[in-house]
Amino acid sequence: MEWIVAVAQFVVNELLSVPAYMVGLITAAGLIALRRSVGQIIGGGIKAVLGFLLIGAGAAIVVAALDPLGVMIQGAAGAQGVVPTNEAIVAIAQERFGAQVAWIMIAGFVLSLLLARFTPLHYVFLTGHHTLFMATLLTMVLATTELPTLAKVALGAVLLAVVMVALPALAQPWTRRVGGDGKIAIGHFGTLGYIAAGVTGQVVGRTSRSTEDMKLPEGLRFLRDSMVATALSMVLVYVAVALLYWARLGTAAALEMFPPPEGVEPTVGHFVMQSVMQGLQFGIGVAVILYGVRTILGELVPAFQGIAERIVPGAVPALDAPIVFPFAQNAVLVGFISSFVGGLATLAVMAVWLNPVLGLALILPGLVPHFFTGGAAGVYGNATGGRRGAVLGAFVNGVIITLLPAFLLGVLGTFGNANTTFGDADFGWFGMAVGYGFRGGDVVGVVVSLAVAAVLLVGAIVVQKRLVDTGWDPGARRTAATAGEGRPPRRGA
């Protein structure tokens, strides 16, 4: 029995939880189904792997640049609380429930392929690390029950499979409005925030110009380059926060933030210039992410023709959040900043009211989830509501990913006392729906969980048939309004 567990853990930890390998294998499978040559299969698979590795490399650069900024914000604001970090809470849970997570992930992935094959929801969820995160969340929630281990695995696998095919379908009308012509879907558990941003854009920005149409003075035309604009904006943010950190905590604390090379005297000038460098590094990370996205799309989308024809007819790849970044690059930065502001505003409300009244933990805005989910929310909001949609839609996302993690802590059992939790929107609402259902007992919890899954699945099928298959465009009113003003509609506008 131990060797079976070891094999399952190897498949999860070394293959299925590594998006690059997972996408490379699926790309190769699609090319095999298309009966391409051995060279084309190997080359396409490797290029898809490299594309995802580029995304990971860019994300690592972004995370490394944001970490010290988060420390300085906490120091400058004097705030303390829970910082939502998916990787941290998953690492903690793996020590106790690694085998159960492995089985839920494997069984859930297989069931999701069956659902994609035999229901109208032909979405294949390819974001392996988010699949691992959701499997871990379900394991942690079900660990608070008295169900037998086999029942926990079976229920967790069903719930995981449903969200893997249902959530991409629910977001697909807005994803198609963003770009990709329906050939890709969003496979990231921040879906609630993206739909909320798209709906917000529909409400507030029918005539608002796109973030990509910003008119800049001649002397600022260099800002039309998204990499330059992103880097410069982050340099300004970084330096401003660094100066506030220095003013509040003093020179000694500031010099400890970025220690100089050995033998070099620490100075305030070094502290400030390192802040500038971190902002530039952020710009580099975003540029690498965008290039990786373009690389993988060039290989994966054609390869999916094979999967569509042979394995899952009409298959649509559901991919990570950065897949939408190239469609509105200015909106990514606008969304990140606006989402972060939404998180700060919600934190203030929680500190003044929700914490004293309800005893909720203070959720500090994590810059990484706000960048990735906020950036994507900005793209969705821009697609349906231009600049106003990008700003307000991402702000709504920031509110969501600050409130939901606080309520989620209540269903994580002993893990609720950890100083970290899951950060993205769908972990919050789905974990709460399952976890609070078990407050009425195990039988009630199972019934409630399966009912939630059934409603989600049926709702997704209805959306697929009535909105996606009929070509409903959530930004149709915006397109008509911009056309009426003599402005040509733009993709992502």
List pLDDT tens digits, range 201-257.
999 987 888 888 866 566 656 655 667 767 887 788 788 888 988 988 888 888 888
**Does the residue 489 lie in any domain?**
no
| Three-class DSSP category at 37 | coil
| Three-class DSSP category at 413 | helix
Task: Please state the separation of Cα 368 from the chain's center in Å.
Answer: 9
**Does the residue 378 lie in any domain?**
yes
Contact 418, 234 (CB under 8 A): no
Beta sheet of 316-319, edge-to-edge order:
123-125, 316-319, 185-186
pLDDT band at residue 491, thresholds of 50, 70 and 90? very low
**Does the residue 119 lie in any domain?**
yes
Contact 138, 156 (CB under 8 A): yes
> In this predicted model, what pLDDT tens digit does every residue of 88-139 receive, in sequence order?
788 778 778 877 887 888 788 889 989 999 999 999 998 877 888 899 899 9
pLDDT at 142 over 80: yes
Instruction: Give, as one character, the DSSP assignment of residue 419.
Output: S
Among 235, 305, 428, 318, which residue's Cα sits nearest to residue 23? 318
Instruction: Give, as one character, the DSSP assignment of residue 437.
Output: H
> In this predicted model, what pLDDT tens digit does every residue of 262-280 receive, in sequence order?
777 878 888 889 999 988 9
The amino acid that residue 484 corresponds to is G
Q: Please tell me whether the overall predicted TM-score, pTM, comes out greater than 0.75 for this model.
A: yes
Instruction: Give, as one character, the DSSP assignment of residue 81.
Output: S
**Does the residue 493 lie in any domain?**
no
d(CA 369, CA 363): 12
**Does the residue 490 lie in any domain?**
no
**Does the residue 414 lie in any domain?**
yes
**Does the residue 186 lie in any domain?**
yes
**What residues make up the domain containing 320?**
2-484
d(CA 288, CA 226): 12
**Number of domains into which the chain is organized:** 1
**Does the residue 492 lie in any domain?**
no
From start to end of 322-471, where are the E strands?
420-421
Give the strand pairing for 420-421 and 123-125.
unpaired
